[in-house]
Amino acid sequence: MDYEAFFNDQIAKLKGEGNYRVFADLERQAGDFPHAVRHDANTVRDVTVWCSNDYLCMGQHPNVIAAMQEAVERCGAGAGGTRNISGTNHYHVLLEKALAEVHGTEAALLFTSGYVANMTVLSTLAASIPGCVIYSDAYNHNSMIEGMRHSRMPKKIFAHNDPEDLSRVLSEADPAAPKLVAFESVYSMDGDIAPLAEFCDVADEYGAMTYLDEVHAVGLYGPRGGGIAERDGVADRITVIQGTLAKGFGVVGGYIAGSSALIDFVRSFGSGFIFTTALPPAIAAGVLASIDVVRGQEGGAMRARHQENARTLMLKLREANLPVMPSESHIVPVLVGDPVLCKQASDMLLDDFGIYVQPINYPTVPKGTERLRITPSPEHTEEMMDHLVLALEEIWHKLDLRRDFPNAQHAAAE
């Protein structure tokens, strides 16, 4: 076989569909968020970033930077081993304690990323519990799907954010079988939020465990930044809360929070936890500082401004008759509905207006729902918003883009 030809053919096919990914070459400027410097063909230009998942700019917070610098000076660069073999640093222990406090659980466990946490925990739980059946929301993230697949246990899909459909699929199961229901709180591509209390009611009725991915909500919702489960007062009804340290908390890493028994079980049997080097101590130190800011008064004010900015931008987009989706969260998706046009719109924003919004195409979202996913932060000003809306209006006009999506009309009518 001609392996090189195979790789090239596959890439050519992707390019033909308009789904080939090009990464913007950016240099973030600490203290100057949302501005960044963009490198392109030997030129550098200032851009305004509108698609960062460092939602609260915590990755550039002075306390976080100082804590990381201090920890590097004290402990060095790397952890020095897996958690079991000399890699557990005091910062890891403190961070796991802080995360358990944020979620009001008995314990928490760190992973190298949120992806690894989902992969490891879902596969370990489902594969270890004899006869376990998994119930998965139709829109669950790839990391959860891969974890479930890896467990090789039977999986049933229920309709997205639909407790009635969950009840229907659960009612078809053997009442004695152990069950695990997996869903997210904030869905990051549409910005909608799961009915957590209803899901818990249904899970309780059928004696199922609940697994909640709060990746796009931790640090952002709830009085302590404990996510939608904290906001809705249902954290104690969730068996496993999973989160990231990379988005709301602005650094890197993943974790789960739950009962001492559950955490000890995953710590002891989860291969994606056991067989990999621990996070650098400075990362844990940075996240500790981040959590401290986020759950304090400053964090509360940032959360309020974050939500306010998202509402303001949505309103401005609606007023301009742009097809913004009916988001209930801080995520503001604008539909384009075509991969080539979506990429084109994004390129024009960057090249003509110095605005960076990455196009979101298949397989991240279903074909025909390609979109620009905008994430306003507390640091985006009203001026920046007006500039963005003006740029989008011009691009919609130039490319003759659609405005008539049923979803977006629903939003406009709200």
Where do the H-state alpha helices sit in 88-231? 90-103, 114-128, 142-151, 163-171, 196-205, 228-231
- By CB under 6 A, is residue 115 in contact with ligand PLP? yes
Counting DSSP H helices and E strands in the chain, the numbers are: 15, 14
Residue whose CB is less far from ligand PLP, 216 or 380: 216
User: Cis ω on the peptide bond leading into residue 34 (within 30° of 0)?
Assistant: yes
**At a CB cut-off of 8 Å and minimum separation 6, what does 379 contact?**
33, 34, 57
Residue of 97, 156, 179, 247 with catalytic role: 247
**Among residues 71, 194, 208, 246, which is the contact residue for ligand PLP, using CB under 6 A?**
246
Assess 254 for contact with ligand PLP (CB under 6 A).
yes
Q: Is 247 a catalytic residue?
A: yes
Q: Is 190 in the site for ligand PLP (CB under 6 A)?
A: no
Residue 143 binding ligand PLP, by CB under 6 A: yes
Determine if 89 is a binding residue for ligand PLP (CB under 6 A): no
Which string of b and e fits 342-351 if b means at least 16 CB within 10 Å?
A: bbbbbebbbe
Shortest Å, Cβ 135 to ligand PLP: 17
| Cβ proximity to ligand PLP, 103 vs 316, nearer residue | 103
CA-wise closest residue to 232 among 221, 247, 220, 243: 221
Residue 290 is a binding residue for ligand PLP (CB under 6 A)? no
Kindly state the number of chain residues that form the binding site for ligand PLP, as judged by CB under 6 A: 14
- Please report whether residue 113 would count as binding ligand PLP according to CB under 6 A: yes
Q: Does 141 bind ligand PLP (CB under 6 A)?
A: yes
Using the contact rule CB under 6 A, the part of the chain among 26-34, 210-218, 286-294, 391-399 near ligand PLP is 210-218
Indicate whether 100 belongs to the interface with ligand PLP (CB under 6 A): no
* Smallest gap from residue 216 Cβ to ligand PLP (A): 6
Nearer to ligand PLP by Cβ, of 178 and 195: the residue is 195
CA distance 251 to 293: 13
The residue to which tokens 């991240």 are assigned: 364
- Paired with 28 in beta bridges are 36
State both tokens at 106: 């008995």
Q: Which residues are catalytic?
A: 247
